[in-house]
Structure 1
């Protein structure tokens, strides 16, 4: 059943890209180059729509309907709709954030799967969230949505980082329905990456757009909560941070530097990790593989930590150490560029 669902997802995603490309051009749903976006030509923003359609089709055919599954699909649908509007009309950041809060609330309060525990991150006992569990869960989902959205700056990056996170989750998750969902999304992602990276032909190149990156952020962040907080929880809360390490650390570090400069944390700029690698001389493909390798290394660390059940306090302190080193290196980026 799982294998066949992957096949259907692959076929539907491939077909959707072919059909939606000319439609996107006529709708004006294309990404045009500017001072931040340095691609050539107007690229259709339909990769996310294709991944969504294939996921909706395969899950609808092969996963038994339940409240959890239905709310997941509803939330994905709403996220894709908001993302597509943002791709078309460039929505105000505050309006986009309000929409994300509402969508995250559907999953948080509809399924009652929330972040009730942060684990024993300080070594003095378990820290529970109590009456703030709903708010913290919504904030965590929003963080995941925007973390992946911010990585969508070079070809293949958001898709590859999402794929790494999904594959890491698939190793530890035990719920069959979620395994099918991960397999379906991963299959569709692989098809998208073939188009996005120009493997088939640069003539058929597409971007996933905000519809895709925000949807993937929603799916990954929700699965991380499920795998660490629900009745089928398989790992400690701190362990899942390693499954999303690169997008999350990069987002927090960039927003921290923006706030220190007195700027809005939601302001768009060229301060992300992929921009740094390209500024020091790597091309986009080299930057992609370098960052993907780092992400894969962190994901493997997370799996090993989960397998050997290492103390949560050590896991958390190690994660904070990585963040401090990362932020320090990025603060020295201009010295590296000069050399």
Structure 2
């Protein structure tokens, strides 16, 4: 069984995103979904957010009009709808971190009855004997989805950053699952995961036309949470049935930038005895600008790292497990050294601070 490229769905999602985003921009002004500049933020003027609504509408419409709605696809749509509603209220009214977290947990749990669940983990010592999670499957699934949702949400600090990162991650995910299907056969959900990931890619590309620097509209929490939620769910759909231990690591590599930035933020705030949920300006994109990069250069630099991680994920699917372990050790060492050098790891590294003129700020 071969995976079919959903050309019609891709074209439809791209076209809808290009058409719907300007309408969502006007709607954001109407309902007061506006992002106002403050000391922590980079942009200097009031900007409409709620851009995630455009991606959601484009993706949902393309899926409903062109794909068979299986149980897992239905779960993705239901969970995505819940997360976009949560993001809508956060973008228009503002929600407390605890309330947002509760909503994310509900949305993540909602996909489980539809078969989107991590039931087992592959055993690194025996691919023939997977580790069954049993009662732990639900908390593990919820933890993964909520973690990725918040990780993408946290990196949404520069024009086009979260959208571009999600674009590269979704494209890589489609490529990795495609390779898995040709080497191991198609498992239930894998062909759907490829199609859905490519439709998501098209929706993001259409939105990035208006979101890349200088942005005309922001993703908002609705968009960054929706993208994170979708990527996490698609990784479960596409990779959970794979038989190799490395397949457990691949989604982490694909989503390396947002996940690592989140981990470093937690470590940084813990070591500094600050609340975990307290925002700061020490994320990767902030540090790159403080080092002297322009807004565009910082975003493109992170895109480049994402591409490298994406290619690394593809390499992991093509080499032996022993080679993959060595590759992962080298990759992890390089990442930790770079993070410490830039100053995002909270382990003592400090990047040089260069004052930036306003024209390089998010606007």
Report the TM-score, using the length of structure 1 for normalisation.
0.90
Superposed CA deviations along residues 218-257 of structure 1, whole A, max 9, x for unmatched, are 1111122222213799961112221111111111011111
For 2:40 and 2:62, how far apart are their aligned partners in 1? Answer: 36
Aligned with 1:195 (options 210, 223, 226): 210
Aligned with 1:217 (options 204, 207, 228): 228
Asked whether 1:145 is paired with 2:149, we answer yes
Aligned match of 2:198: 183
Aligned with 2:266 (options 255, 261, 266): 255
Aligned with 2:296 (options 270, 285, 295): 285
Give the gaps of 5 or more residues in structure 2: 182-189, 355-363
1:1-339 paired onto structure 2 within 5 Å? 2-111=6-115, 113-117=117-121, 119-120=123-124, 128-173=132-177, 174=181, 175-197=190-212, 205-230=216-241, 236-311=247-322, 313-314=325-326, 317-318=329-330, 320-322=332-334, 324-329=336-341, 330=343, 331=346, 332-337=348-353
Between stretches 10-19 and 289-298, larger displacement belongs to 10-19
For 2:116 and 2:54, how far apart are their aligned partners in 1? Answer: 29
Contact 2:144 2:232 in 1 (8 A): yes
TM superposition shift of 1:183: 1.8
Which has the larger helix fraction? 1
CA RMSD of aligned residues (A): 2.6
Q: Secondary structure of the equivalent of 1:226?
A: helix
Give the gaps of 5 or more residues in structure 1: none
Contact 1:101 1:138 in 2 (8 A): yes
Contact 1:121 1:313 in 2 (8 A): no
Aligned match of 2:185: none
Superposed CA deviations along residues 137-159 of structure 1, whole A, max 9, x for unmatched, are 21111110011001100001101
Contact 2:193 2:237 in 1 (8 A): no
For 1:242 and 1:294, how far apart are their aligned partners in 2? Answer: 11
Aligned match of 2:361: none
For 1:187 and 1:109, how far apart are their aligned partners in 2? Answer: 28
Contact 2:52 2:219 in 1 (8 A): yes
For 1:79 and 1:10, how far apart are their aligned partners in 2? Answer: 22
Alignment size in residue pairs: 334
Contact 1:172 1:235 in 2 (8 A): no
For 1:236 and 1:30, how far apart are their aligned partners in 2? Answer: 40
Superposed CA deviations along residues 155-188 of structure 1, whole A, max 9, x for unmatched, are 0110111011111111122433222211221111
Report the TM-score, using the length of structure 2 for normalisation.
0.84
Distance 1:100 1:154, change over 3 A: same
TM superposition shift of 1:130: 4.0
Contact 1:17 1:50 in 2 (8 A): yes
TM superposition shift of 1:301: 0.8
Q: Secondary structure of the equivalent of 1:155?
A: coil
